[in-house]
Amino acid sequence: MQVIVRDNNVDQALRVLKKKLQREGVFREMKARSAYEKPSEKRVREKAEAVRRQRKLARKQLQREGLLPMPKKAVAGGKR
């Protein structure tokens, strides 16, 4: 993974790096590997993740078909 530092702005580069790591799931994996997970707990977690993925997929499908409202777009300016 590579992050370009522009104008010696290390703070911005760190924010970009953290966002990329978050998107890749590195933090979640580090937390999961920090302690032993029993096989039964692993099965429960993986099943819950699969259910979550399926619900998200179904929700997006319904939104595309127009049966659910689309999510609101974020305003580019942010909070003021």
| Domain residue ranges in the chain | 1-35, 38-68
- For residue 33, pLDDT over 80 is answered with yes
DSSP string for 12-78: HHHHHHHHHHHHHTHHHHHHHHTS---HHHHHHHHHHHHHHHHHHHHHHHHHHHTSSPPPPPPPTT-
- For residue 71, pLDDT over 90 is answered with no
The predicted pLDDT at position 79 comes to 61
pTM: 0.58
